[in-house]
Amino acid sequence: MNSYIGIDLGGTRIKGVAIDANGNVLHQTYTPTNDGEGRVWKAAIKKTVDDLKQKLNAHKIVVGISAPGLPSKENTVIGFMPGRLEGLENFIWSDYLQCPTNVLNDGVAALVAEAKTGAAKDSTNAVMVTLGTGVGGALLINKQAYQGSFNKAGHIGHMVIDSNDDCDVTGMPGSLEECIGNCSIEKRSKGKFTSTHELLIAMRNGDDFAKDVWLTSVKKLAIGLASVSNIISPDTIVVGGGIAEANDDLFIPLNKWFDEFEWQPGGIRPQITKAMHGDLAGAIGAACFAMQK
Amino acid sequence: MNSYIGIDLGGTRIKGVAIDANGNVLHQTYTPTNDGEGRVWKAAIKKTVDDLKQKLNAHKIVVGISAPGLPSKENTVIGFMPGRLEGLENFIWSDYLQCPTNVLNDGVAALVAEAKTGAAKDSTNAVMVTLGTGVGGALLINKQAYQGSFNKAGHIGHMVIDSNDDCDVTGMPGSLEECIGNCSIEKRSKGKFTSTHELLIAMRNGDDFAKDVWLTSVKKLAIGLASVSNIISPDTIVVGGGIAEANDDLFIPLNKWFDEFEWQPGGIRPQITKAMHGDLAGAIGAACFAMQK
């Protein structure tokens, strides 16, 4: 019988989990992605896998790896990942780890975890949006992770919100990522804040400018999610990432504006819910994906 | 053996087809939707079905009906269709026609036809957009029509393009429909034109204002489709509806701007192609859908 191990290759830490058949975490480990000496992450992943295999006392393992970038058609390698993690593109993990290995995008992995044991576990069709430095996302269609024809589906951060505004890193004008991602907080706050966290603290302390900046961003997120919902018609929208920790300050105005802008024939609408898996979402999802393959 | 009949209930005409197992049209008929006396369309559909059954010399038939509005979960009735075609909502066609009958949205039906024998026949995942009075659409996912959890998927006319602009009929601010649908041509042209057809004639005769209005609309369509492509990652985008008859005046600038705004990792992009089925698309798609069910 196979045992399933999931790895999430993050910018700062490598997270590893071993799961049981129901997707529950049996063991978990954290390792730094780099030690200052450069590319140690390949060896660190190998060690993480070996350690978890030993803890499981397993003979046959299957590994899933969640990583930034776009996987190849068959989810065997990360086919596209410019700029960071040199050596990741087209690296064949199954050869290196000496076991069957599936590779998937980290946003997709997070949604697979939510669909298995989290906020989307009763969903048939779901949209996930992750609000962090950038804005990522993923789609669940007929209970399966949907990656699209070129494995880039779910990049809802790179949809238009204001067609006359400046282009984002992918070339999309006035994108959702520019409206609410941490990457644009200085621009949105005219240099006053360097993080959404700071902005929210100021707002809670009565800063009207901070409140205006925040609510403008949330309104645009609502318009973006209402658009996606008119296109995908999901039963659930899962909101994750660090900015989701704003909790009521996010979800109360978001729901109000979503109802105002979404087309809701017969009064029916999807549920908007916070992601349940924290920083292990990618690793858990990668292991679940390996199990489903 | 079953024979398959498709009906498209349009605003002015009822179109009927009988198809063979490959989706090819064996017979086709056209009937006015109304004769001025009111709701004759139910009886007209019954007569269309009976005539086609007789032409086929068929014993057992299965019918598909393409109609505006949103079908119920099981595609047995149109569950939501406010304003027009009174009596269509929740009307049980299988009882009335005395045969198994599937009902689907007309935009979805058009894409099913394109996927079976038209512009998307080699597609795995496709997006269709129909440019007419309004802007409709539909999604093909894993070679199947995808309707979503509430059967409203594919309404890409009701996605945002400019979040600060006026809301459309569904409540979406600055929607794609408002940017290029015939419904907004007077507004976009400051009252100078009453149809896209007129606008295009003026542009071809050297009217710079008409050219500016048109290209602004096409650019916004490109930004919208690039956004949808970043979300769905289709291999094909099918453009249908009367405005697609602009041909090169549409497709040349559309492709140029699409390449500018879409995220194209590795230089890979979907094909943008004109719908091949004309006004029989809905009827053919409805018959194909009935066959697939």
Q: Are B106 and B143 in a shared domain? A: no
pLDDT at A143: 97
| Average pLDDT, integer, range B257-275 | 97
Domain residues for the domain of A96 are 2-110+279-292
Q: pLDDT band at residue A85, thresholds of 50, 70 and 90?
A: confident
**B107 neighbourhood in chain A, CB within 8 Å:** none
Q: Are B30 and B161 in a shared domain? A: no
Q: Are B147 and B269 in a shared domain? A: yes
In whole angstroms, give the CA distance from residue A14 to residue A51: 13
pLDDT tens, B73-115?
A: 999 999 998 777 888 999 999 999 999 999 999 999 999 999 9
Q: What is the distance in angstroms between the CA of the first residue and the CA of the last residue of chain A?
A: 15
Q: Is residue A98, in this structure, part of any structural domain at all?
A: yes
**B149 neighbourhood in chain A, CB within 8 Å:** 124-125, 233-235, 270
Count of CB contacts below 8 A, A vs B? 160
Q: pLDDT band at residue A179, thresholds of 50, 70 and 90?
A: very high
pLDDT tens, A199-247?
A: 999 999 999 999 999 999 999 999 999 999 999 999 999 999 999 999 9
The amino acid occupying position A18 is A
Q: pLDDT band at residue B132, thresholds of 50, 70 and 90?
A: very high
Residue B67 clears pLDDT 90, i.e. is over it: yes
What percent of chain B stands above pLDDT 90? 90
Residue A11 clears pLDDT 90, i.e. is over it: no
- Contact check, Cβ <8 Å, A159/B266: no
Q: Is residue B115, in this structure, part of any structural domain at all?
A: no
pLDDT tens, B34-53?
A: 755 556 889 999 999 999 99
Q: Is residue B117, in this structure, part of any structural domain at all?
A: no
Q: Are B215 and B283 in a shared domain? A: no
Determine if the pTM surpasses 0.90: yes
Q: Are A178 and A241 in a shared domain? A: yes
pLDDT at A38: 57
| Minimal Cβ distance to B171: which of A163, A232, A261 | A261
In whole angstroms, give the CA distance from residue A281 to residue A111: 8
What is the domain-level CATH number for residue B183? 3.30.420.40
**A137 neighbourhood in chain B, CB within 8 Å:** 231
Q: Are B21 and B83 in a shared domain? A: yes
- Contact check, Cβ <8 Å, B172/A235: no
**B173 neighbourhood in chain A, CB within 8 Å:** 223, 261
Residue B61, strand partner residues: B3
Cβ neighbours around B84 below 10 Å, total? 9
pLDDT at A3: 96
**A154 neighbourhood in chain B, CB within 8 Å:** 231, 233
pLDDT at A39: 65
What percent of chain A stands above pLDDT 70? 98
Q: Is residue A197, in this structure, part of any structural domain at all?
A: yes
Q: What is the distance in angstroms between the CA of the first residue and the CA of the last residue of chain B?
A: 15
B73–chain A nearest CA distance, Å: 12
| Minimal Cβ distance to B156: which of A158, A173, A231 | A231
- Contact check, Cβ <8 Å, B159/A124: no
In whole angstroms, give the CA distance from residue A239 to residue A268: 19
- Contact check, Cβ <8 Å, A160/B160: yes
pLDDT at B39: 65
| Helix axes B248-261 and B208-232, enclosed angle (nearest 10) | 50
DSSP string, A181-237: SGGGHHHHTTTS-SSHHHHHHHHHTT-HHHHHHHHHHHHHHHHHHHHHHHHH--SEE
**A142 neighbourhood in chain B, CB within 8 Å:** 141
Cβ neighbours around B276 below 10 Å, total? 15
| Minimal Cβ distance to B162: which of A164, A171, A270 | A164
pLDDT tens, A124-177?
A: 999 999 999 999 999 999 999 999 999 999 999 999 999 999 999 999 999 999
Nearest CA in chain A to B162: A162
**A266 neighbourhood in chain B, CB within 8 Å:** 79-80
Q: Is residue A116, in this structure, part of any structural domain at all?
A: no
Lowest average pLDDT, out of A159-163, A273-277, B34-38, B144-148, goes to B34-38
Average pLDDT, chain B: 95
pLDDT at A14: 94
| Average pLDDT, integer, range B245-271 | 97
- Contact check, Cβ <8 Å, A161/B156: no
Residue B116 CB partners (closer than 8 Å, separation 6+): B23, B284, B285, B288
- Contact check, Cβ <8 Å, B224/A261: no
Q: Number of structural domains, chain A? A: 2
pLDDT at A245: 96
Q: Are A70 and A90 in a shared domain? A: yes
Q: pLDDT band at residue A37, thresholds of 50, 70 and 90?
A: low
pLDDT at A36: 57
In whole angstroms, give the CA distance from residue B82 to residue A276: 38
Sheet holding A13-19, edge to edge: A25-32, A13-19, A2-9, A60-67, A101-105
pLDDT at A188: 98
Q: Are A106 and A139 in a shared domain? A: no
Q: Are A100 and A129 in a shared domain? A: no
Extract the tokens encoding A105.
């995008």
Q: Are A207 and A83 in a shared domain? A: no
Residue A106 clears pLDDT 70, i.e. is over it: yes
Mutation for B interface: A233, A236, A262, A272, most B CBs within 10 A:
A233
Q: A114 in helix, strand or coil?
A: helix
Q: Are B79 and B197 in a shared domain? A: no
Q: Are A128 and A103 in a shared domain? A: no
Classify the complex by whether its ipTM is higher than 0.90, answering yes or no: yes
- Contact check, Cβ <8 Å, B161/A164: no
The amino acid occupying position A119 is A
Phi, psi for A143 (deg, rounded to 5)? 70, 10
Lowest average pLDDT, out of A33-37, A165-169, A191-195, B148-152, goes to A33-37
The closest of A46, A89, A163, A33 to B218, measured between CA atoms, is: A163
Extract the tokens encoding A21.
């058949």
Q: Is residue B118, in this structure, part of any structural domain at all?
A: no
**A125 neighbourhood in chain B, CB within 8 Å:** 148-149
What percent of chain A stands above pLDDT 90? 90
Q: Is residue B162, in this structure, part of any structural domain at all?
A: yes
Q: Is residue B215, in this structure, part of any structural domain at all?
A: yes
